[in-house]
Amino acid sequence: MTEHELKEVLDLIEKKAVEAQLRDDACARSTMYGLGTYFPFISDEVVAATLSLIGGAGISSGSCGAYTSGLLAVGLKYNPLIEEEIAEEGLEKKDIAMGKIMTFRDAFIKEFGTTMCPEIHKIIFGRSFNLMDDQERDDFLSIPDHAEKCSAVVAKAARMAAEILLKDA
C-alpha cells in the first residue's frame, strides 16, 4: 500500500468514526464502527457489543470508550485464541499481540495523557464528570458541543488503531 493509499484508508476510517459519533454520541461504538468499515474481521456483532463500553465502560467513568474499542480492535486481529495460546506457537503470537496493544496504549497516552474518561473530559471540557451521577451525566450531555469534542478523541483513537492494524497488512 502506498503512502497515498494508506492516508486515504486512514482518512476514511476516521471520517466514518466521526460521522457515527456525531450521529449517535457513542464513543466506543463509533470508534469500532469506523474501524469496521474497513476491516472485515470486525463484525457487526462486535460493533454492537462495544456500545457497552461508552461513558468510560458501562457509563462508569472508567477507561475511555474510544480507547477500549481501539484495544479490542487490535486484540481481534492479533490476540491468539486460547487453543493457540496453549500451543507453543501461540506464545509468540501472544507476545506480538501484547506489543501491538502496548503500542496503541502508549500512543493514546502520548496524545491524551491518560486512558481515563474523566481525565480526558478535564482536558477537552475543563472539568471531569462522574457519569454514574444522574445530575453530572445530565450536565455532560447538555454541553452543546460535547459530541463534537468527543469526536476528536474518537477520530484519533480510530486512526491510531487503524495504523497498527495496517502496519503489516
Can you give the residue ranges of every domain in the chain? 3-166
The C-alpha cell that represents 146 in the structure block: 460535547
> What is the SS3 assignment for 46?
helix
| Largest pairwise CA distance in the chain | 53
If residue 75 lies in a helix (H) or strand (E), which one and from where to where? helix 65-78
Residues of the chain with pLDDT under 70: 169
pLDDT at 88: 73
Instruction: Count the helices and strands in the chain (H runs, E runs).
Output: 9, 0
pLDDT at 169: 58
pLDDT at 82: 87
